[in-house]
Amino acid sequence: MPILATPFPINNGFAPPAPKMIGNEVTLYASKDGENIIDKGYNLNAVVYTCLNHIQKMFGKIPFYVVEINPDEKKTFAESQRLIKLLHDPRAIAEAKRMRKKSLDGIIEDNNLAKFLNRPNRNQTGVAYRQMLVGYKKLTGEGNGWLNRGVDEMGNQATDRAPLEMFVIPKYILQLIGNGFDPWEILKYQITLVAGQHINVPKENIQMWIENNFKFVSTTLDHLRGQPPLEAALLQIQGLNEGAIREIKESVNGGANGLLFRKDAKEMPKDPGTVSWMREQINNAVNGKDVAGAIAWMAGEWGYLPFGKTSQELQRVELSARATDDICNVLGVPPGLLKANQTYENANSYFRQFIYQTIAPEAYGLRDLWNNTLLDMFGMDREKYAIDCDILSLPELAEDMKNQVSAVQNADWLSKNEKRIATGYEPIEDGDYDLVPKDSAPIEIPALDDFAED
């Protein structure tokens, strides 16, 4: 079966919007469907790059696979999928883990869909594809996938076959084509390549994984597209970039820390020889490592003006720290992860918070999207099979399970099965009764050993 040429972004082909101006003739970064955030943010800003790096690497650790559901436990599996989203509650996590084990017949590996998830296209592994997909989603608001399903007998893009490949398509080269009167209907998609070349793509062959967008525009269908999260922090990105440029200029150019001047300059000759003599006198008596820490003395009437730092310059560090926190919060990355001076315990706490609030919701969103599309494309019954991801396999969450085990280990008031369920295991036969240690019995109750025969 022939494979279509891969649409790969080279140029967006659109004229940039007019730049915005703010007071004192400062030109603001223009929004261009997330493309500018890539150019000015990810490619130029260390904070944005670091945050995206954290998101992509953590997201890539999560395994995705195809599972087979026990026919008698379909409701149990559905309930486990709901409970697993409550990562902040250890009891819900343990119950979801137990229900998931009970409802699954196993993981399927020798299957076309499973192989497709492990190798979605000729250039990327499944991990690399998912990392790029979530990266585009957080940067541009859309993680779009183009499904190459080959061509039909007429030479057109097929829409009724299992995908051969799946590629990430950036937002700024993908257009939505509507019918002109229904603001919710998408007739097809259009990919714009270099030199204005357009490729029409059937709507069945594009998957859009988007951020929420609250701007309703019926003409351009903007409300069906994703809002780039970092557009809310565009000013902070620009502020950090401009501050870094200014720091570089100050470091390269140096500049004087103060001004040394002659009070009797009007009475002094202005010939080059006098100017050279004054410069030599300053260098010998003030500048240079030979006089470091010494008291300089020069003949004549001299004055000095210290430049120092203005109040605005002194606030630069504080403003940069505030902008860094804002960018981290917009992307859902705890600002503490970017701090160098933190303890090991704090770092683990930040990573768990990061997984709970950002990584897990993104993973579950992609899982649900693929369950609603890829299963049907590969002809798999949703009642029997599912695409699943295992958040609990992340080593950063091992501490939570360890704490849960410790919490119930010495709880004598719990039965063996209650302890097993609380730590994610199935109950066992004869495990519902309470086991009371002999040392915990009331003193007036004799121990069984006292009645034992010699």
Domain segments of the chain: what residues?
20-236+319-396, 258-306, 414-451
pLDDT of residue 10: 33
pLDDT for the residue 352: 87
Q: What's the pLDDT at 132?
A: 96
Q: Which long-range contacts (CB under 8 A, 24 or more apart) does 381-387 make?
A: 383/69, 383/71, 383/74, 384/68, 384/69, 384/71, 385/66, 385/67, 385/68, 385/69, 385/108, 386/66, 386/67, 386/69, 386/77, 387/64, 387/65, 387/66, 387/67, 387/113, 387/117
How many Å apart are CA 42 and CA 217, to the nearest integer? Answer: 28
Residues 335 and 154: their CA atoms lie apart, in Å, by 54
**What pLDDT, on the 0 to 100 scale, is given for residue 168?**
95
> CB of 52 within 8 A of CB of 37?
no
The strand order across the sheet containing 188-192 reads 174-177, 188-192, 198-202
Q: How many CB atoms lie within 10 A of CB 321?
A: 12
Ranges under pLDDT 50 in the chain: 1-17, 23
3-class secondary-structure state, position 126: helix
| Residue pair 427/420 in contact by the 8 Å Cβ criterion | yes
- The pLDDT, as a whole number, for residue 315 is 63
Tell me how far apart the alpha carbons of residues 139 and 325 are, in angstroms, rounded to a whole number: 17
Which residues make Cβ contacts (< 8 Å) with residue 321, sequence separation at least 6? none
Token look-up 């497709």 returns 116
Is the pTM of the predicted complex or chain greater than 0.75?
no
> How many helices (H) and strands (E) would you count in the chain?
14, 13
* CA-closest candidate to residue 199, choices 175, 163, 220: 175
DSSP 403-421: HHHHHHHT-TTS-HHHHHH
Which residue type is seen at 5?
Answer: A
pLDDT at res. 242: 86
Distance CA(434)–CA(404), nearest Å, equals 20
- Over residues 144-153, the pLDDT tens digits come to 999 999 988 8
**CA distance to 53, 318, 353, 371, 377, per residue, from 202 (Å):** 33, 50, 40, 20, 14
Quote the pLDDT of residue 384.
93
Token representation of residue 226: 């994703």
